[in-house]
Amino acid sequence: MFAVNEAKKKILKKLVQKDWTPTELAEELNQTTQTTYNHLKQLEEKGLLEKKKIKAKTRPKTQYSIGKGFVQYIAALPGDLTIKSLKLNDNKKAFFKIWSIPQPEFHKYLEELWYKIKKEDEIIAFGVYGSVARGEADQDSDIDILLITTNKKEELEEKYGSKIIETEKRSKLIMTKTYTLKEYQNSLAHESDFLSTLREEIVPIYDPEEII
């Protein structure tokens, strides 16, 4: 596992928000460009960052990003110790987002739902809101889901609007609110009270375009 010291943590906190050039990041963090570049280069050499050339007034600049992100983990199991950094794709990221939800008893239901949703090409964003997202659900709580789709809204509403998800021992009712992308954007533009509240608590599970 690659050690991430405080200096690198400060850099990563900025990079999770947006992409940066070394010069811009150095100015933001009030440190020298060379120091910033050295940290970025070390992270990039470990495969944790991505870089690309972007146009500038005089010559191209190098810009760094976290790409789809990464996770560092330690797995201590009987007879085995694993310490590594793991690059993420959309599928892995979705599982880590599910596992970040405070009450683990709901994870299995969301995993089962994700297995189904990821096969729907029209769905471009999927998140959890309500009591489950807040960590305040009880054993009888429904799971509130937001879906954003490019089309086939009615078909998806019929399929997922009110759905029972079963595991080996129990079942849960999934209640889904579905928007087309245009409807969602229009509701945001009109400052929908429902979406304002939802966006304060939602846990995005799949949101590659950062729509939610």
What is the pTM (predicted TM-score) of this model? 0.73
pLDDT (tens digit, 9 = 90+) per residue, 7-23? Answer: 888 999 999 989 999 99
**Residue scoring higher pLDDT (70 or 179):** 179
CB of 53 closer than 8 Å to CB of 60: yes
Q: What percentage of residues in the chain have a pLDDT greater than 70?
A: 99
Using the predicted structure, report yes or no on whether residue 4 has a pLDDT greater than 90.
no
Inform me whether the pLDDT recorded for 206 exceeds 70: yes
Domain boundaries, the chain: 1-87, 90-206
Would you say residue 168 has pLDDT above 80?
no
Tell me whether the CATH fold assigned to 1-87 matches the one assigned to 90-206. no
Q: How far apart are CA 123 and CA 152, in angstroms?
A: 9
Token representation of residue 163? 């759905």
Question: What is the average pLDDT score of the chain?
Answer: 90
Could you read off the pLDDT of 66-124 as tens digits, one per residue? 888 888 778 888 988 887 777 888 998 899 999 999 999 999 999 999 999 999 999 99
Q: Which fold has domain 1-87?
A: Arc Repressor Mutant, subunit A (1.10.10)
90-206 belongs to which homologous superfamily? Beta Polymerase, domain 2 (3.30.460.10)
Q: Is the pLDDT of residue 191 over 80?
A: yes
Q: At 36, is the pLDDT very low, low, confident or very high (cuts 50, 70, 90)?
A: very high
